[in-house]
Amino acid sequence: MKKDKKKRLRRLAEKKNQRRDSRAKIMIEGILSMTQSGFGFVKIDIPEEMNIEETQDIFIPPQYVNGAIEGDRVRVELLPPSGDPDKGPAGRIKEIIERTKSEFVAELLPGNRLRPLNGKLPEDIFLHGTRKGAKKGDWVKVRLDDESDGEFHASVSKVIGKSGVISADLDAIMTEFNLEPPYSEGDNAAALAVIPREIQRVDRTNLAAVTIDPVDAKDFDDALTIMPGKDDSTVVIGVHISDVAAYIAPKTHFDKAAGKRSFSCYLPGRTLPMLPPGLTAKISLQAGKDSLAHTVFLTVDRSSGQILETKREHSLIHVTERLDYDTVQTFCDTGKAPDNWSPRLKKDIADLIAVTRKMRAFRFEQESFIELPIPEIRVMCEEAANRIDGLSKKMSRESENLVEECMLAANSAIGNELVEKGIAGLFRVHPFPEAEKVEEFSDIIADSFGFYPGDITNRKICNKFVENLPDNPVKPVILSLLLRTMARASYASKAEVHFALGKFRYAHFTSPIRRYPDLLVHQQLWNFDKKVRTRDKKTLELWAKYCSEQEEQNDNAYYAASDRLKLRYLEQLLDSGADTMFEGVIAKVVTNGLLVDIGELGLYGFVPRELLYGDFRKNGHFLTQERGKGSYKTGDFIYVRLARVDFARGSAVFVPAGR
C-alpha cells in the first residue's frame, strides 16, 4: 500500500513538473499596465492549453519589464510557478510588439530631464533635441524617441505652459488624456442655427413642471411633474427629458462631434461640454418657456411605491419653477418652504417626496440595490484667478435621491421597452465582482479590521455588511476598499445584469445633453416612432465599446486633475503656515511606509518608514519596531502632519503628529 502511494505521488510530481516546464515555454501576448511602484501586469487572452483562470493577469516583476511602458502590446514568457498557491502567474517581457503610447505630457526638469504627468510611465526621461522654447518647470508634450540600457529619450513637440498654474495644469491634463478642446465660437454660432425636427407631440403645458438641480447648474435636461392617477390609490409622475434628438439627428455634424466626445467632461474649475454651449442652452428645459421633451409617465401605487405602468411620448412642456437641491432639502427636513412657493408647488413637492420615499423603499426590498455612502471631496478653484479656494464635501441627500429615483425608474422603463420591442439600444451593465477580488477584499477586512464581510456577491449580504459598519473614520476606508472590489460599469448592446442596481434591463436615457449613450437611445426611439430605419446592433456594439473607453478616459482625467490640484491646495496650506494636522486611518502597510486615508482631504497620504519613531520592519499587515513594542497596522487611527508635497511622485508626505 505504501509503495503504491509513493508511486502515485511520484507520477503526480512528474506531471506537475511537465506542466511547469511546458507552461514556462509558452509565449503569450497582451497589453501592459504599469504601477507607480515599477512592476506591471499584462492583460491577455488565455490560451486553452494553459491552466490559468481568465480573470488572472500576468504579474511582471520590475526586473523583467525590459524597457516596456504603460499601454505597450508585449510578448511575455511565463516564469515557472512559485509554488505559492496564493500567487498568480508571473512572467518576463521578451518583446515589445507595439508601442501604443509614443506621445505624452511631461514636466521639464533641470538637467534636461522629463518627468511624465502619468506616474505609470518611467520616472525620468531625458530630453533629446531642441526645447522649442520650453523652460524649466514647463509642461511639454513629448514624443518618445528611443530606449537603450534602461534610459529613455524624447523630443519636445509642443510647449503647454507653466506647471503650477491652474490653467496650464488643466491644459496638460487635457493633452495627456486626449480630451477634445472646447467648441469654437463658429461652432456655437452654427449650433444656434439648428432647427428642430418635427414629430407628433402631446401638449402637456398644463402640467406644472419643475427642475431640481444644483444651485449653479446651467444645463437642465430633466423636469418632473406629478398629478393624481385614475383613482386615489395611484399617482402619475412625469419624467420629462430634453428632446435632444429633435435637434441632433444621426450622422449630422454635431452628432459626430458629440459622439467623438461621448460625454461632457467635468474637470475642477473647467467644463468641456459634449454639445456646443449655445445649443445646450437652447434645448435645456428653461423655466418660464415652452420646451420640447421626451417624456416617461410612471403610474405609481401610493401606498407601496410599486410602479404599475409606464408610458412614453414626445411632448411639449412648460417649466414653471427652477428649484435647487439645497432649497428642496430644507423642505424635506423641516417642511418649511420659501415665501415665493405657491400652495400648488408646496403640495407637488410634498407629494413627490412622499411617493419617491415609497418607491425607493419598494425598490430596495425587491432589488436590494447597493449604495455606498462615500463622500466626494471636490476641489473648488478659480482658473482665471489661479486660486484654489478649498475643498468641498458632498454626500447624497434626500433631495438628490428624489430626482435619482425618478430617473432610475425612467431608465428602467426605457430599457424594458427596447428589449420588448426589439429596438437595438445601448444598455448600462455592471458585472458581478470577480471571485479573486472578493476573496482578497474579505482577507484584508478580516485580517486588518476584524470584520467578516461574507459573500458580498449577494447584494443582501453586502448591504447588511455595510449597514453594520461602525460609524467612524474606518467606515469610509472600508467602503473605498469595497468600491475598488467592484467591477467597472460600462455600456453594452445587450441587456445584462447591473449588479449594483439589481437590474437586468437598464438603459441610460435621462441625460442626453451630457451623455452620448443617452442621445443614441433617444435617436433610436425617434426613428422607431417615425418608422425610420434604426441603427443595427452591430453598429451599437462598436458605440458601446467606444463610449465605455471614453468614459474611463474622462474619469481618469478628472481624478488626475483633482489629485494634482489637491496637492496644490496642500502646498498653499504649507506656504501660508496654516494648520496641517489631520486624522487618518492606515489603509495599507507597505515595505517603505504607511498609506493613510485622510477623509477630510479625500486622498491618500504617505508616511515614509524613516519618518516613524524608531526602526520598523514590515510583517504582514503590520510595521513593527525592531527594538520596542510599537507597531502600526491597517485600520489603525493615526494623526499626521503634512511634511511636504512630492509632485515628482504625485503624493503628499506626512509625519506622525508630534514628530
How confident is the model over 325-383, as pLDDT tens digits? 999 999 999 999 999 999 999 999 999 999 999 999 999 999 999 999 888 899 998 88
Question: How many angstroms separate the CA atoms of 85 and 436, rounded?
Answer: 13
pLDDT for 446 equals 87
Q: Cell 514568457 sits at which residue? A: 77
The rounded distance, in Å, linking the Cα atoms of 376 and 395 is: 7
Are 300 and 207 in contact by the 8 Å Cβ rule? The answer is: no
CA-CA distance, 506 to 427, in Å (whole number)?
Answer: 6
**C-beta separation of 274 from 298 below 8 A:** no
d(CA 44, CA 30): 4
- How far is it, in rounded angstroms, from Cα 203 to Cα 198? 14
d(CA 172, CA 175) in angstroms, rounded, equals 5
Asked whether residue 507 carries a pLDDT value surpassing 80, the answer given is: yes
CA 607 – CA 596 distance, rounded (Å): 7
pLDDT in tens, 30-51: 888 888 777 888 887 655 445 5
User: Which is more confident, 622 or 1?
Assistant: 622
**99 vs 463, which has greater pLDDT?**
463
Q: What is the mean pLDDT of residues 255-283?
A: 94
User: Which residues contact residue 507 at a Cβ distance below 8 angstroms, ignoring those fewer than 6 apart?
Assistant: 411, 414, 415, 418, 425, 426, 427, 428, 495, 521
Question: DSSP character for 263?
Answer: B
Give the whole-number percent of the chain exceeding pLDDT 70. 92
- Long-range residue pairs from 330-335, CB within 8 A, at least 24 positions apart, any chain: 332/397, 332/398, 332/399, 332/402
- What the block records as the C-alpha cell of 311 is 408610458
Q: What whole-number distance in Å separates Cα of residue 346 and Cα of residue 350?
A: 6
User: What's the pLDDT at 587?
Assistant: 86
The three state secondary structure string of 522-579 is HHHHHHHHCCCCCCCHHHHHHHHHHHHHHHHHHHHHHHHHHHHHHHHHHHHHHHHCCC
Query: What is the DSSP secondary-structure string of 287-333?
Result: BTSEEEEEEEEEEEETTT--EEEEEEEEEEEEEEEEEEHHHHHHHHH
Is pLDDT above 60 for 6?
Answer: no
Angstrom distance (rounded) from CA 348 to CA 339: 16
* Whether pLDDT at 567 is above 70: yes
CA dist 632 and 523 (Å) reads 57
pLDDT band at 85 (very low <50, low <70, confident <90, very high): low
Average pLDDT of the chain is: 89
- pTM (predicted TM-score): 0.89
Of 421, 422, 408, which is closest to residue 307 (Cα–Cα)? 408
Burial 94-118 (b: 16+ CB within 10 A, else e): eebeeeeeeebbbbbbeeeebbbbb
Question: Can you read off the three cell numbers belonging to residue 159?
Answer: 510647449
**Beta pairing partners, 309:** 299
Intra-chain end-to-end CA distance of the chain, in Å: 67
Side-chain half-sphere of 534: how many Cα atoms within 13 Å? 23
Query: In angstroms, rounded to a whole number, what is the distance separating the alpha carbons of residues 624 and 614?
Result: 10
Each as own residue / partner, the long-range contacts of residues 655-658 (CB below 8 Å, 24 or more positions apart, any chain) are 655/607, 655/611, 656/607, 656/611, 656/612, 656/613, 657/581
pLDDT band at 2 (very low <50, low <70, confident <90, very high): very low
CA dihedral of residues 296, 297, 303, 304 (deg, nearest 10)? -30
What average pLDDT score do residues 475-485 get? 90
pLDDT of res. 5:
45
State residue 205's pLDDT score. 97
| pLDDT average, residue stretch 256-277 | 95
